[in-house]
Chains A and B, each alone.
Chain A
Amino acid sequence: MAKIIVVTSGKGGVGKTTTSAAIGTGLALRGFKTVIVDFDVGLRNLDLIMGCERRVVYDFVNLINGDSNLNQTLIKDKRSDMLFILPASQTRDKDALTPEGVERVLNELKETFDYIVCDSPAGIEKGAHLAMYFADEAVVVTNPEVSSVRDSDRMLGLLSSKSRRAENGEKIKEHLLLTRYNPERVENGEMLSVSDVEDILSIPLLGVIPESQAVLKASNQGVPVIMDDKSDAGQAYADAVERLLGKDMPHRFLELQKKGLLQRLFGGR
C-alpha cells in the first residue's frame, strides 16, 4: 500500500525542499519506488535541488489538466531507478491546483509507487493545504527558533483538523524534523534546544539535521544532500529515513564537538 508523506512547515526557508529531496532519495536508495511531488506551483525549486531542471517538459498542472500523462510528466532520476520527480509548474499559480485533480493524480501514483513524498509550499493557503490534505504521514520541518516553531504548531493544528484523515476521524502520523541545528549556538542561548522544541510541539522527533555547509553545496550542485554520506547533514538525513521506516536509531550531532588542541591552536573549523 502506497504511503503519502507530506513535508511541510508553515514557514518558508526552513528546508522543506531539501528535506523532501533527501527523504525521497533516501527511500529510493533503500529500494522503495518513490516519487517526489513538488506542490510549490509558481515557485518551483525541487527540480533544481534534484538537478533535473533541464529535463522538465510537462509539469503537475499539465497532468491535472490532462495535457500530459504520467509517463510523459514524471522525470526519472539519474542516480536511482526507483526515484521519480513530478515537477511543479513555474508559470502558473496555486489556483491551478484543484482538489479533484490532485486526488486523481495521487491515486494514479499510488498504483505504482511505494512512497509519494509531497513537497509543500510555505504558508497555510491552498497549495500547502492540498499538499497535506491527502497525506498519511507528515514530516514537519522546523528550525530551532520561535517563529518557525509557532508556524509548525499552526501547521500541526491544521493537519489534525483540515486533512482528509482528520475528517474521517483518523490521525496523520506526525514527525518532527529539526533542521539547521547548531549546538554551539544552542549552548550560547541563541537557539532553541531540541528539548525546547520537543516540549512545545510535543510530537515524536524524526531527526536533527545539523547546520552544515554540505547542504548549500549539495543544493547548488543539484545533488540531494543525503548522497553526500561523508557530511554530517547527509548522515543525519540517512538516520531520519531509517527512523521513518521504523528503525530505532540514536540521535547524533546534538552535542557540541569539542575542538581538539590543534584545532584550537590554529583556529580551524
Chain B
Amino acid sequence: MTADTTLDLLDNDPVFNLKGGMLTMTVVELARLSQDHFARQLAEKVEQAPNFFVDTPVVIALDKLTDRIDAAALKGLLEICRQHGLQPVALRGGESFRPLAQSAGMVLVPVGRQREKSIETPALRPEPAPVAQAPRAAPSGGGKLITEPVRSGQQVYARGGDLIVMAPVSAGAELLADGHIHVYGPLRGRALAGVQGNTEARIFCQNLEAELVSIAGHYKVAEDLRKEKQWKQAVHISLDGDSLKMTAL
C-alpha cells in the first residue's frame, strides 16, 4: 500500500491537460416568447436540414428577448428543443437570468462581444435554409452512402461518420462529414472532412477536380489544388501538421 502510494507520487505523467479552446456553438436567439410559434418554426428549420440538428449543443440566448420569461416557460422551450434533437447546454444573458439558469440546471454565459455578427445560422453551414434536399441515402452504421450523383447546389452531411459517394460530385455541390470522405467518381465540388475538428479525417477520391478540399478546417482551393501533380488523379488527402498532404492512390 505504502509502496503504491510512493509510486503514485513519483508518477508525474499528467492525467489531464487544461486547455483553452474555441467551440462553435449554435445560438438560439429568442426574440419573443411564444411556445407554439417556437415549436412550429423550429420544426420547419429542422426539416430543412434534419441531420444538422441531431445532438447539436445549443445556447439559448435571452438577451434579445422582449417578453419576461419564467422557469416554467423556459422548461417548455427546453423540452421543445430536446424533442428536435437539440441539446440546450447554456443560457446567454445578463446577471438577472442567473436564478433562472440555476433553476434549470444550466450554465449562464455572458453576452459575447461578437454580438454584431448576429449568428442566425450555424457557423459550420453558413446557408442551411436554401439547401436543396440531398439525394436519397441508404442508412448504414455511422456513415452515409450516396449512390446518386450529387448535383450543383446539393449538400450532403454525414454526421458522426464517414461519407461514401459512389457517383460524380458536381461543381457547386458540397460534401461534409465528421469522418472520412470517399468519392468513387470525379470530385468536382467541395469536400470537407472532419468538420467537427477531427484532424485524423481523410479524403479519398478517384479523380480530384475539387473546388475545395478541407480537413478539420485546413483547406485548399482549386487554384492551389490544380498545381498538385495529383490533379485529376486518384488521390488520398490527409492532414500533416497544418497543411494538407496529397498522396497518389
Q: Once the chains bind, are B152 and A157 in contact (CB under 8 Å)?
A: yes
Q: Once the chains bind, are B149 and A154 in contact (CB under 8 Å)?
A: no
- Residue B57 at the A interface, CB < 8 A? no
Which of B136, B154, B170 counts the most A-chain CB atoms under 10 A from its CB?
Answer: B170
Q: Once the chains bind, are B135 and A160 in contact (CB under 8 Å)?
A: yes
Q: Which 4 A-B pairs have the closest CB atoms?
A: A157-B151, A161-B133, A153-B152, A154-B152
- Residue in contact with A156 in the complex, picked from B133, B136, B151, CB distance below 8 Å: B151
Name A's B-contacting residues (CB within 8 A): 150-151, 153-154, 156-158, 160-162, 169, 199-200, 202
Which residues of A have CB within 8 Å of B149?
A: 156, 202
Q: Once the chains bind, are B172 and A150 in contact (CB under 8 Å)?
A: yes
How many A-B contacts at CB < 8 Å in the complex? 46
Q: Once the chains bind, are B136 and A153 in contact (CB under 8 Å)?
A: no
Q: Once the chains bind, are A162 and B171 in contact (CB under 8 Å)?
A: no
Q: Once the chains bind, are B132 and A150 in contact (CB under 8 Å)?
A: no
Which residues of B have CB within 8 Å of A162?
A: 132-133
Provide a sorted-by-A list of 29 A–B residue pairs whose CB atoms are within 8 angstroms.
A150-B152, A150-B171, A151-B152, A153-B151, A153-B170, A153-B171, A154-B151, A154-B153, A154-B172, A157-B152, A157-B153, A157-B154, A157-B170, A157-B173, A158-B132, A160-B148, A160-B151, A161-B132, A161-B134, A161-B135, A161-B154, A162-B132, A162-B133, A199-B186, A200-B170, A200-B171, A200-B188, A202-B149, A202-B168
Bound CA span A4–B175, Å: 33
Bound CA span A161–B131, Å: 11
Chain B residue, CB-CB nearest to A157: B151
Which residues of A have CB within 8 Å of B170?
A: 150, 153, 157, 200
Bound CA span A154–B135, Å: 13
The distance from the CB of B184 to the nearest CB of chain A, in whole angstroms, is: 13
